[in-house]
Amino acid sequence: MKLKNLLTAAIAAISLSAAAFAQNTAPKPASQSLIDLLPASSAVVTVDVQKGLNDALPKLLVGNPQLKAEVDQGMAAFSTKAGPDALRFSDLVIGVGVEEVPGTAPKILPVFIGRGDINADQVVANATRSSKTPCAERVVSSRTIYICQLEVPVSTAAKAVGVAANAPDKVLKESAFVVLDPNTVAFGAVSRVIEAVEHRTSVDPTLKSLLKNAPTTVAAFAMENIDGLGKFIPLENDDLGNTLKNLRFMAGSADSVNDGFVFSALFRSVDSASAKQLNSTLQGLQAIGNAFLGGSSRADQRMYGRLIKRVKIAQAELDVTVSIALPQADVNALMGQVKFTKK
């Protein structure tokens, strides 16, 4: 992998993280109550939808007019197809379950719960009309769950692995929808929606405590790692691989601030030795990046060098934290390099 691509991936990974740098901030009531509606989950994601649509997204796209035009067009088409309520959610939470599948990677089973200035009955009605076959109905805890067959695109990666050249671009996927209250809906994997309606389990308090929920937070996540990371990514039996295997929790946040964004991540290990090793590894990678890019004659590489140097890495007992503040000028420069190619 080229160094530029490696650095871009590293910055993107930090950008997609979420962490615990202001976790004493009082949570927003709407988002917090939605988390309480989730069943037990291996990972939880929270999204302030309106802050994302009206604040973060315009700031991300201002530096790339072509991409902005494509996103605006896509959102308009989505709103037309899904109905006017589709973009009026205020908060969205996602609870991810994992199902073991012998001989292959675990199956990811999400449930989404959204609330906002919506007519929940109408949202579910629009969703059921998109089903390729009549939706089945199942009553659970006095609520009607609609189990539908929706057409979803097949990812390029999935088609490239052992699939015939004439494989379809779209497949049918079973999804469930249910009204929880007049302005709240749940949807996703059938088993997970049923778990949410039955509400016999709840999210681990530790995961909830790791979810940052400040007024500036656009999105946050927290996940546990009980011998699970190696099931999703290859880990070598070396110092770094063993350090990653010893991670107990990971969390993070993306915050939209006055002049750009702040992205942060937290990695909690099972012991202080593993945390110290991870801290040393990350600081070593930062030093290598500075050495390669610090004196470059290319403007883009000098920008990457500045960003890498700006990353803050710290350890406190079992936790290693990573954060970076991106001024709007750097956000514009990064997004300006994103090329959109129509198929």
Asked whether residue 343 is assigned to any structural domain, the reply reads no
**Structural domain range at position 8:** 3-336
According to the model, what pLDDT value does residue 150 have?
A: 87
Asked whether residue 342 is assigned to any structural domain, the reply reads no
Give the span between the Cα atoms of 91 and 95, in whole angstroms: 14
Reported residue count of the chain is: 343
Asked whether residue 313 is assigned to any structural domain, the reply reads yes
pLDDT tens, the chain, 343 aa long = 343 443 444 444 444 443 333 333 444 555 558 999 999 999 999 999 999 999 999 999 998 998 889 888 888 887 777 777 878 999 999 999 988 777 777 788 999 999 999 999 999 998 898 888 999 999 999 999 999 998 877 654 444 444 555 566 777 889 999 999 999 999 999 999 999 999 999 999 999 999 998 999 999 999 998 555 555 555 555 666 677 778 899 999 999 999 999 999 999 999 999 999 999 989 998 998 888 887 777 887 888 888 898 999 999 999 999 999 999 999 998 898 887 665 5
Asked whether residue 137 is assigned to any structural domain, the reply reads yes
Structural domain count, the chain: 1
According to the model, what pLDDT value does residue 228 have?
A: 52
Spatial contact of 195 and 96, defined as CB atoms under 8 Å apart: no
According to the model, what pLDDT value does residue 331 have?
A: 92
At position 269, the amino acid (one-letter code) is: S
According to the model, what pLDDT value does residue 19 have?
A: 35
119 phi/psi in degrees, rounded to 5? -100, 100
Spatial contact of 84 and 122, defined as CB atoms under 8 Å apart: no
CA atoms within 13 A on the CB side of 215: 2
According to the model, what pLDDT value does residue 227 have?
A: 56
Asked whether residue 341 is assigned to any structural domain, the reply reads no
According to the model, what pLDDT value does residue 293 have?
A: 83
DSSP state of 229: G
Tell me which residue has tokens 């996602």.
94
According to the model, what pLDDT value does residue 297 have?
A: 77
| Exposure b/e, 116-142, CB count within 10 A at least 16 = b | bebbbeebbebbbeebeeebeebeeee
Q: List the structure tokens of 151.
A: 């057409």
Handedness of CA 310, 311, 312, 313 (dihedral sign): negative
